[in-house]
Amino acid sequence: MAKRMLSIVIPSYNEEGNVENTASVVTQIMKENGIPFEMVFVNDGSSDKTWDKLCELSRVNPNVVAVNFSRNFGKEAAIFAGLKTAKGDAVVLMDCDLQHPPQVIVEMYNIWKNNDVDVVEGRKKSRGKENGLYKAFSLWFYKLIGDSSGLDMRDASDFKLLDRTVVDSLNAMPERLTFFRAMSSWVGYKTEKVYFEVADRAEGESKWNVKSLIKYAINSITSFTSAPLHIVTVCGVITFLISLILGVHTLVNKILGNSAAGFSTVIILQLLTSSIIMFSLGIIGYYLAKIYEEIKKRPRFIIRSVMQNGREQNGEKDDV
Ligand code: UDP
Ligand code: MG
C-alpha cells in the first residue's frame, strides 16, 4: 500500500503574525515535493486575531483545516485535538512560529514513506538561543524523566512524524493530563531520528515565562513518573538512619549523666524532620490532586468550531 497523505498539526496561540506565513511556506514546500497534505491549525483560545486569520485562510487554501477551542487549553490539549482531527496516513506536529523548519518535514516524510518506520523524531541539534539557566534546568528535567521512565528524552521535541497506527494508539490513551513528548516515545514503535537546527521565532514572543515553565515541568514530571513519591520513601529511610544514630548517642549521654546537654540537637532534629514531612506531604498532595483531576474525566479540550473550505464542519469530541 502506498503511503499517502500527511497531516501537519500546528497548535497556534496568539500567532496572528505567523499563521499566514506558516501556511504559505508549508504549502509551497509540500507542493514542490508533491506531498499530498492537510494543515490542521488548532487555535488555542487566542486573544488576538489568530482565529479570524485562520477562517480567512480556510477560505482561500483548501489544505487548511482550522479548529477553534472554546478557550485556552494549552499546547498539550491543542496537540491532542490536532491528532483527533487529522485524517492523514501520517501526522507531523510542528510549532506555528517556524522554529521547526518545514523543510525537515519533507525529510521526515521520505524516511517514513521509504522505510518501515512508524515514528520519525525531530531532535534538536543545538538548543537555539536559550540561556544557561534554562539549558541546565531542561537538562536536569529530561534526565529525571528519562531515568525514571527509561526513555531517552534529551534533545527531544514535539516536532515528530507519527504513522496512523501510532496516532490511533495515542488517541486511545485515556489520561487527561498528558505529556505528548514522553507519551509518543512511551508507545514504542519503530523510531528513526532526524536532527534539526532550532530556528529563531518568526514573529511575536514565546508564550512561556518562568512561572508557566515551572508549572509545565511539574505537571509533566507528575503526569509521567512517580519518582518524586519514591523520594519521600528515601527521605524516610535517611531520617530513620539518622534517628538511630542520634538515639544511641542520646542513650549513651543519658547513661553517662550528660543528658541536659544536646538541646540544640533536639531543635535541629525537630526542624529537619518536620520540614521533610511537610515536603513529603506536599508531593503526595500533588499526586492526589492529579488523581482527582483524572477521575473527574473532564474532556481535555472543547472545540467550538471547525472551518474548512470556508464552511463550518463538525468538530471531533474528546471522548476517550
Ligand atoms: N502554544 C499553544 N498554546 C499555548 C502556548 C503555546 O498552542 O498555550 C503554541 C504556540 O502557538 C506555538 C507552540 O505552541 O505554535 C510553541 O510555543 P512557543 O513558540 O511560545 O514556545 P517555545 O518555542 O518558546 O518553546
Ligand atoms: Mg517557539
Q: How far is CA 281 from CA 217, 219, 221, in A?
A: 19, 17, 17
Measuring from atom 23 of ligand 1, which residue has the nearest CA?
206
Least confidently predicted of 129-133, 175-179, 235-239, 306-310: 129-133
pLDDT in tens, 266-314: 877 788 888 888 888 888 888 888 888 888 888 888 888 888 887 777 7
CB–CB of 246/265 below 8 Å?
A: yes
For residue 205, which atom of ligand 1 is closest to its CA? 20
* 17 DSSP 8-state letter: T
Which residues touch 77 (CB under 8 Å, ≥6 apart)?
44, 69, 178, 300, 301
Query: How far apart are alpha carbons 274 and 199 in whole angstroms?
Result: 48
For residue 96, which atom of ligand 1 is closest to its CA? 15
Protein residues near ligand 2, an ion, with CB under 5 A: 95, 97, 99, 201
| Phi, psi angle pair for 312, to nearest 5° | -80, 135
Query: How far apart are alpha carbons 144 and 153 in whole angstroms?
Result: 9
DSSP 127-138: --S--HHHHHHH
- Which has the closest alpha carbon to 148: 217, 234, 225? 225
Cell numbers placing 317: 469530541
Q: What is the pTM of this model?
A: 0.73
- Which has the closest alpha carbon to 178: 240, 239, 93, 249? 93
pLDDT in tens, 71-93: 999 898 999 999 999 999 999 99
pLDDT at 40 over 80: yes
Query: How far apart are alpha carbons 106 and 29 in whole angstroms?
Result: 8
For residue 206, which atom of ligand 1 is closest to its CA? 20
| Ligand 1, CB within 6 Å, residue ranges | 11-13, 15, 44, 72, 74-75, 78, 95-97, 99, 201, 206-208
CA of 15 relative to ligand 1 center, distance in Å: 9
- Which has the closest alpha carbon to 66: 77, 55, 75? 55
- Assigned CATH class of 6-131+152-208+299-314: alpha beta
Q: Which residue has the higher pLDDT, 216 or 27?
A: 27
pLDDT in tens, 95-132: 998 889 999 999 999 999 888 899 998 888 876 566 77
CA of 292 relative to ligand 1 center, distance in Å: 27
Sheet containing 191-196: order of strands: 191-196, 119-124, 160-163, 90-93, 6-12, 37-43, 64-69, 303-308, 311-313
Percent of the chain at pLDDT > 70 equals 92
CB atoms closer than 10 angstroms to residue 79: 26
pLDDT at 212 over 90: no
